[in-house]
A and B are shown apart, each in its own frame.
Chain A
């Protein structure tokens, strides 16, 4: 048993031996088990907006404690964890600066995770993840179980928390949209409809980048409430119509391109197909539909974040992420034909289809 084995098998003996020979195994697993501690440390860094303070220059723990009204000794103990995980660097003793990774905790910088991270650390997100066991046992979303209402109603009821979600969506839209404009050819499109487009962030950016386009923003009435103001601010209001309605009812508008961005992953397979069928009904022979979604990667080495987002969809709205093949099946079931997939800003892709029999 103590001999080196070329191909260790997964038996008890080898596992215990490899543990004794390799305390690293224990360390690696322990880091995963205590991952929530690191998450909480990052949340506090966000709440104190340390990245903003450290943007211009490195600061000492004393200076940071004074600026953030925190306990210097406790703050130092937090800062050294941030150094250990590569978010800060301690240039000289007790003086801390941002690493390249740490820069991304700043609000509004390219690639920022600021609003995304605040969403995932929000009380609602934490609470539903605390009830992950419920979702694994039942296959149902933990949001309903925890709060008695589905995700969308939760935010309608807790309007003070809604900005956490919308800021997250906006940050994400802002990062996807430039790659959408750069990678998709809007030349032959005249009218683009954004289905489930919320406040119109993505649509406004597309219209801004493509002055020949007209837009339709379609979402639930309470979701599109603030959209008019946003479209005006972006200077595209006169080219954009807001249509309020339910995407599970027939769609009351026509477009050349139907954009359905980060919507289908919220729903069950049946509901996803129902949405696509409504799209098919609305489409004419030359229309296209474009989904923006995370596609579960073929290469599992890069899949951790994808699989975590998938579980987020399980505990939150009760939806799930899919492989490209699964999206192709949905298209087929809705009378659509897959045409192409294009990688956008990671982790998103664009999946295009046209009407069958076109």
Chain B
């Protein structure tokens, strides 16, 4: 109390508060700290399916609130915040429209993120991420720690949440299938096997575009359960055989091309090599393997989403994303030769390999 305060001195912190110019590191950092709130707000938009209500024209908050049974004042505050991240646009007071980026929140448009959003906001994923520190302490997946079972078992125990995962995979496959068709030459091939192909979205797209091909869909029996129907709907049912089985057991089929899409990143190196070795065993001298994954980019500045996906693999299934070099090393360990990498729709690439030499 008795100490003198140099009142005349300008207070450095006060001037920080008044300075509106220059980089504002604190605000930038706070935006990242509060990033989960923006994620959640976008999740709520998907839950209410607001984007599809706005597909034709701008609408007032009152109209949107009425259609979604929500509170107009609260909905306004949500939409107002999302105009700041350019998902919506307030075209007139209390009237909102989708921005080009907001269009991607609609179901089933090209590039839609609708199902991805519902997946990342679903209880399993959201709550596993809240236990992220466990994964960093142990290197083990947090899903197992939070729920007591690995990811795959979680969904058999909580079938009500399984659609969030499968719809996300389907949305992603629907975007991946055409990219594979457009970028890979299937001429000269007879049989393509999709290993871990779930409901067969990718193989169906390939078969549809290449009438000369026959297909094999291979995945766990409970995963392929609805696949035959899906393949029939797509009109490729008679050209595609569905095989239920375990990819860690010897593969009971032969193909010219073994497609392994978004499977290896779920697994650690040991399991990944085991899968590739089974592939190698099944391959003929002229067969190829095509792995579809995110390849960690060399340029670290462009790598954020890849690195986040990598951490998601750590938290969820306990896998990882890898660099091209890492995939080449894994190929080698399984007796495969890397032949080339082909960029598909970002962030995916196709990594092709062939047998290194016939195994005895």
Quick check: is B201 within 8 A (CB to CB) of the other chain? no
Cβ of A48 to closest chain B Cβ, rounded Å? 8
Q: A15-B103, A84-B301, A130-B126 in contact; A104/B29 too (CB < 8 A)?
A: yes
A67 contacts the other chain (Cβ, under 8 Å)?
no
Q: Which of A199-220 contact B (CB under 8 A)?
A: 207-209, 211
B21 within 8 A of A: no
- Among A42, A44, A238, which residue has its beta carbon within 8 angstroms of that of B33? A42
The interface size bin for chain A is 35 or more
Chain B 232-244, CB within 8 Å of chain A: the 1/0 string? 0000000000000
Chain A residues contacting B70 (CB-CB under 8 Å) are: 136-137
Residues of B within 8 A of A123 (CB): 130
Residues from chain A with a CB closer than 8 A to the CB of B24 are 346
Bound Cα distance from A10 to B41, whole angstroms: 22
A38 close to chain B: CB less than 8 A: yes
CB–CB A10/B136 < 8 A:
no
* Contact indicator A12/B103 (Cβ below 8 Å): yes
What distance in Å separates the Cβ of A358 from its nearest Cβ neighbour in chain B?
A: 28
For the complex formed, measure the closest distance between the CB of A323 and the CB atoms of chain B, giving whole angstroms. Answer: 12
| Among listed B78-86, B149-157, B188-196, B258-266, interface-contacting one | B78-86
> Given the complex, which residues of B lie within 8 Å of A335, measured CB to CB?
none
Q: Which of B34, B105, B116 contacts A120 (CB 8 A)?
A: B34
A75 to chain B, nearest CB (A): 6
Main secondary structure of the interface of A (DSSP, over half): helix
Q: Which residues of A contact B111 (CB under 8 A)?
A: 16, 19-20, 25-26
- Whether the pair B346, A32 counts as a contact (CB closer than 8 A) is no
Hey, what's the 0/1 contact readout for B116-134 against A, CB within 8 Å counting as 1? 1100100000100110110
Does B35 lie within 8 Å of A35, measured CB to CB?
A: yes
Contact B17 A81 (CB under 8 A): no
The reply to whether B80 and A135 form a contact with Cβ atoms under 8 Å apart is no
* Nearest chain B CB to A269 CB, angstrom units: 11
Cβ–Cβ < 8 Å partners of B84 in chain A: 300, 303-304, 307
Nearest B residue to A85 by beta-carbon distance?
B32
Taking the complex as formed, is A80 at the interface, i.e. its CB lies under 8 A from any CB of chain B?
Answer: yes
CB of A58, distance to nearest CB on chain B (Å): 16
Q: Do residues A136 and B48 form an inter-chain contact, with CB atoms below 8 A?
A: yes
B71 with A70: CB separation less than 8 A: no
- Interface: B325 (CB within 8 A): no
B100 contacts across to A, CB distance below 8 A? 8, 10, 14-15, 18-19, 25
Instruction: Give the chain B neighbours of A12 by CB distance below 8 A.
Output: 55, 103, 109
User: Is A167 interfacial (CB 8 A cutoff)?
Assistant: no
Docked pose: A42 CA to B180 CA in angstroms: 36
Give the residue name and chain of the A residue nearest to B28 (CB): A101
Residues of B within 8 A of A41 (CB): 132, 311
Interchain CA distance A310-B13 in the complex, whole Å: 25
Is B137 at the interface (CB under 8 A from chain A)?
yes
Does A311 lie within 8 Å of B77, measured CB to CB?
yes
Across the interface, which residues of B come within 8 angstroms of A103, CB to CB? 25
**Per-residue CB proximity of A209-240 to B under 8 Å, as 1/0?**
10100000000000000000000000110110
A18 contacts across to B, CB distance below 8 A: 100
* Residues A209 and B41 in contact in the complex (CB < 8 Å), given A87-B29, A126-B130: no
Chain A interface: which of B213-221, B273-281, B284-292, B302-310? B302-310
Kindly provide the distance from the CB of A184 to the nearest chain B CB, expressed in whole angstroms. 11
Q: Identify which of A105-113, A156-164, A277-285 touches chain B.
A: A105-113
Q: Is A7 an interface residue (CB 8 A)?
A: no
Is the CB of B39 closer than 8 A to any CB of chain A? yes
Contact indicator B1/A33 (Cβ below 8 Å): no
**A10 and B83 contact, CB distance less than 8 A:** no
Residue of B17, B24, B110 with highest tally of chain A CB at under 10 A: B17
What are 26 contact pairs spanning A and B, CB under 8 A? A29-B87, A30-B116, A38-B35, A41-B311, A42-B32, A43-B132, A81-B308, A84-B303, A90-B300, A101-B25, A111-B13, A113-B26, A133-B48, A139-B74, A175-B13, A175-B17, A179-B13, A179-B14, A211-B1, A304-B85, A307-B84, A310-B77, A310-B81, A311-B77, A311-B81, A346-B26
Please give me the 5 A-B residue pairs with the lowest Cβ-Cβ distance, nearest first.
A35-B35, A139-B71, A345-B17, A71-B139, A15-B103
With A26-B113, A111-B16 known, 12 other A-B pairs at CB within 8 A are: A14-B100, A16-B111, A32-B35, A77-B310, A86-B28, A104-B26, A116-B30, A129-B40, A300-B83, A305-B31, A320-B77, A345-B13
